[in-house]
Structure 1
C-alpha cells in the first residue's frame, strides 16, 4: 500500500480525497451561514416599519431574494422570537 500511494494514481487519489473533504466542509459552512442569514433577515422583517425593500437595501440582497427567504425560512422559524432564540443558542 505504501508503494501505491507513491504512484501517480495514488497521488491523484489522495489529492482528490482531500479536495472532497474540503468541499464537504465548505458546504457545511455555507449551510450554517445561510441559516444565520435567514434568521437575521426574518428578525429584521419582524421589526416595526421594516419592508422587503428596506431590508434588501440594508443587507445587499434583491427584494425577491428577501421575499424568498421570508417564505422559505418561515418553515424553520415561525416568528421573530424563535429566530432570535436560534441566534442566541448559536452565538451568531
Structure 2
C-alpha cells in the first residue's frame, strides 16, 4: 500500500504545475486586457476634440501613459479603424 501513495514531492510538483498553468493563463488575460485598453484609448484619442489630458482623466491613467499607448500603438495600427478591426478579430 505504501507504494501506491503519492510522495510528498509528487504532490508539490503537481501543485506547482497547476500554479504555473494558472499564472500563464492570467498573463494571457492581462495581455488581452492591455490590447483592449490600448484600442479603446486610441479610439478615444481619434474622437474629435479629445486630448491626452481628457482621455487620461476619463479613464484614470496619467497623460504620459496615454501618450505611451498612443506612440506604441501607432507602430502597430495605422488608424483607429485598424485597431478596432484587430479587437474584433481577436474577440478581445
How many angstroms apart in 2 are the aligned matches of 1:47 and 1:5? 64
How many angstroms apart in 2 are the aligned matches of 1:30 and 1:39? 14
Please show how residues 1-92 of structure 1 align to structure 2 within 5 Å. Answer: 3=3, 6-92=6-92
TM-score, normalised by the number of residues in structure 2:
0.88
CA deviation map 1:15-39 (0-9, x unaligned) = 0000000000001111111111111
Change (3 A) 1:10 1:54: same
- Consecutive unaligned residues in structure 2, runs of 5 or more: none
Count of equivalent residues: 90
How many angstroms apart in 2 are the aligned matches of 1:85 and 1:91? 10
Cα-Cα RMSD: 1.7
- Consecutive unaligned residues in structure 1, runs of 5 or more: none
How many angstroms apart in 1 are the aligned matches of 2:64 and 2:4? 53
Deviating above 6 A after TM superposition, structure 1's stretches of 4 or more consecutive aligned residues are none
How many angstroms apart in 1 are the aligned matches of 2:39 and 2:66? 11
TM-score, normalised by the number of residues in structure 1:
0.88
Matched-pair contact (CA < 8 Å) for 1:56–1:66: yes
Give the C-alpha shift of residue 91 in structure 1.
4.4
